[in-house]
Amino acid sequence: MNIMQRVRVRGGIVVAIIVLIVTAALTWQLSKARCIQLVGDVTCRVETEAKLVALTFDDGPTPEGVDAVLAELGPRGIHATFFLIGNRMEKFPGQAERLIAAGHELGNHTYSHQRNLGRSQEFYAAEIAKTDALLQRAGSDTKLFRPPFGKRLVGLPLEVERAGYRTIMWDVEDQPEKFTAPRAFAQDILARVRPGSIILIHPMYRHNQVARDALPLILDGLQAQGYEVVTITELLRRTGRR
C-alpha cells in the first residue's frame, strides 16, 4: 500500500469515527427529548390559553411521600397524577389504594425504574405489564406511562403503544440539585409554568424533603397566579386531546 492509499484509509477511519461519535451523541439527545418520540404518541404539555396545569409526582409510592402529598392536596381539593414504580408498590402495599381513594389517578412508571435503553423487547414488555397488573389490582384503569429518567428510543415506545398506554413527559421539572431551600425550589417552578404545563415533582423518598416542604408553596403560588391544577386525564379532556 502506497502513502496515498494509507492516507485515504486513515482518513476514512477518522471520518467513520466522527460519524459514530456524532450518531451516538444525537441518539443520546433523542433518547431524552421531552417532546419528540419516534414511535407512538408523547405529550409534554398542551397548547391552551386556559390557565390549566397538570401536577404529576414520580416514583414511590412510599408512606412518607404519600402522607406528605395527601396532606397538602386534600384540603385544597386538588387531584394529581402519580406515576408509580411496580416494585415500590409491592414493598409498600396499600399506598396506591390510598391515592385512588383520595381521588387521584395513577400512571405506570415501570416495575424496576431502570434506564430503559438498549434492552430487549421482552424486558420492556415485562416492565410495563408487571406494573400494569399491580395498578389494576389497586383499582386503576388509567393508561398513562412515564419512562424512568425520561429516557426512551424505539423499543420502549413500541411496547408502550402495544400495551395501550400513552407516554406522558413534562415541561416543568423540579431541580433539587440546584435549589435546596424550599422557597427557591418553589419559585423556580412557578417562574417556568405556563398554561398547559405538565409539572413534575419528586416527593417520595427520604432525601426529597425539600420537595415536600416546597409543595405547599408551589400550590399556593399556582393559585395566586390564577391556575387550576388538574390531573393529566383532565388536562387532556379539557383541551380536546383525549
pLDDT-derived band of residue 19, with 50, 70 and 90 as boundaries? Answer: very low
Portion of the chain with pLDDT greater than 90, in percent: 79
pLDDT-derived band of residue 21, with 50, 70 and 90 as boundaries? Answer: very low
* Number of residues in the chain: 242
Range of weakest confidence among 15-19, 36-40, 51-55: 15-19
Out of 79, 109, 113, 202, which one is annotated catalytic?
202
Per-residue pLDDT at 202 exceeds 80: yes
Per-residue pLDDT at 15 exceeds 90: no
Determine the Cα–Cα distance for residues 82 and 14; give it in Å rounded to an integer.
48
Per-residue pLDDT at 22 exceeds 60: no
Out of 41, 58, 171, 207, which one is annotated catalytic?
58
Which pLDDT score, from 0 to 100, does residue 2 have?
A: 60
Q: How far does Cα 105 stand from its chain's mean position?
A: 14
Which pLDDT score, from 0 to 100, does residue 242 have?
A: 72
Per-residue pLDDT at 13 exceeds 90: no
pLDDT-derived band of residue 24, with 50, 70 and 90 as boundaries? Answer: very low
Which pLDDT score, from 0 to 100, does residue 7 have?
A: 47
Q: Average pLDDT in the 95-103 region? A: 98
List of residues 6+ apart from 144 with CB closer than 8 A? 81, 83, 105, 107, 108, 165, 166, 168, 232, 233
Instruction: For residue 197, report the phi and psi dihedrals to the nearest 5 degrees.
Output: -65, 150
pLDDT-derived band of residue 117, with 50, 70 and 90 as boundaries? Answer: confident
Establish whether 58 is a catalytic residue. Answer: yes
- Alpha helices (H) in the chain, listed in sequence order: 3-31, 63-76, 86-91, 95-101, 121-138, 155-162, 182-192, 209-224, 232-238
List of residues 6+ apart from 114 with CB closer than 8 A? 127, 148
